Amino acid sequence: MDHTPKPFEFYTAEKLWNDPHISKKMLEFHLDPDLEPASRSHEFISRSIGWMTDRFRIGTGMAIADFGCGPGLYTTAFAQKGADVLGIDFSDRSIRYARKQAAENRLPIQYVQQNYLDFQTDRRFDLITLIYCDFCVLSPDQRRRLLASVSNLLKDGGLIFLDVFSLSAFETRTEATVFEHCLMEGFWSSDDYYGFLKTIRYEKEKVVLDKYTIIEPSGQRKIYNWLQYFSLPALTGELKQAGLEIRESYSDVSGAQFDSGSDTMAVVAGKR
């Protein structure tokens, strides 16, 4: 029997976003206006972009980097407003789609296909975004690395805008075990398979693991989806360690008023 892994013991995110079959499904989810496993609904995204445009005065001359940009749902809108935009994502399929969209719309967006934990550039940014709770999938070490890099990439007066899952969302998570033929209706493979999902709560750390074991005739794969849930003080502490301070907090990236009962929170932070 498998041991219970330590929080964030295994990092398999790249398998999730770069496997040929799974990444195809993920791109379909991104582009579906209503489904939310990969991006928020398109109605929400358009509200979020409207709010961000006003809040950050997104327009000509503003340098924006979008970490985990996916197929470019936000980057495209920022560039259409005249901003100078860079998008980073390690998903080959998403970046190919994003580049095609940019070419078709004649938008000079720079896309980088890379793990954003390793991203380096001489450019500096007015705004760095990390949207749809991607911060939560990273281990404490990875989060430290990412925030140090973000802090270094911001211009003086530059801001980071990110959202995370809250402790209220943690309270809704329950432990479960599911074993099913073609678990999640073929999401994990185009071949016949059995899928085993084990959900584990780590009470002290406020972490949840969804561990998927996919059993196919060709062998077995394990995917570990970790989520760190945050209180506002915990998030404040992590940002502070990287020399960043929270300037504003909201319930989500559309600027909804902060409410500790909300499933998510979004913060605007800058260098101290």
Ligand X SMILES: C[S@@+](CC[C@H](N)C(=O)[O-])C[C@H]1O[C@@H](n2cnc3c(N)ncnc32)[C@H](O)[C@@H]1O
Convert 46-64 to b/e letters by CB count within 10 Å (16 or more is b): ebbbebbeeebebeeebbb
Beta carbon nearer to ligand X, 37 or 59: 37
Is residue 90 near ligand X by the rule CB under 6 A? Answer: yes
Minimum distance of ligand X from residue 119's CB (angstroms): 8
- Spell out the residues 6+ positions from residue 106 whose beta carbon is closer than 8 angstroms to its own: none
- Closest-CA residue to 191 (of 37, 22, 31, 32): 22
Helices (H) and strands (E) in the chain, counts: 8, 11
Among 76, 94, 151, 228, binds ligand X (CB under 6 A): 94
Pattern 55-84, ligand X, x by CB under 6 A: -------------xxx--x-----------
Cα angle value 69/138/228 (rounded, 5°):
110
Residue type, 71: P
Scanning 111-119, 155-163, 179-187, 219-227 for contacts with ligand X by CB under 6 A, the matching segment is 111-119
Only one residue has tokens 């496997």, namely 19
- 89, 163, 238, 252: which one contacts ligand X (CB under 6 A)? 89
Q: Choose the stretch contacting ligand X; rule: CB under 6 A; options: 90-98, 174-182, 213-221, 259-267.
A: 90-98
Cα torsion 78, 79, 81, 82: sign: positive
Distance CA 151, CA 162 (A): 13
* Residue of 19, 84, 134, 238 interacting with ligand X (CB under 6 A): 134
State the nearest-atom distance from the C-beta of 72 to ligand X, in Å. Answer: 8
**Contact pattern for ligand X over residues 156 through 195, marking x by CB under 6 A:** ----------------------------------------
Calpha distance 20→270 (Å, rounded): 37
Q: Which residue is nearest to ligand X (CB)?
A: 68
Binding-site size, ligand X (CB under 6 A)? 19
* Nearest distance from C-beta of residue 54 to ligand X, angstroms: 19
**How far apart, in Å, are the Cα atoms of 10 and each of 45, 80, 105, 151, 213?**
31, 39, 39, 26, 13
CB contact set of 270 (below 8 Å; sequence gap of 6+): 154, 157, 158, 159, 160, 244, 245, 247
Q: Which is nearer to ligand X, 11 or 196 (CB)?
A: 11
- Beta carbon nearer to ligand X, 72 or 195: 72
Least Å from the CB of residue 115 to ligand X:
4
List residues near ligand X by CB under 6 A: 13, 17, 38-39, 68-70, 73, 88-91, 94, 115-117, 131-132, 134
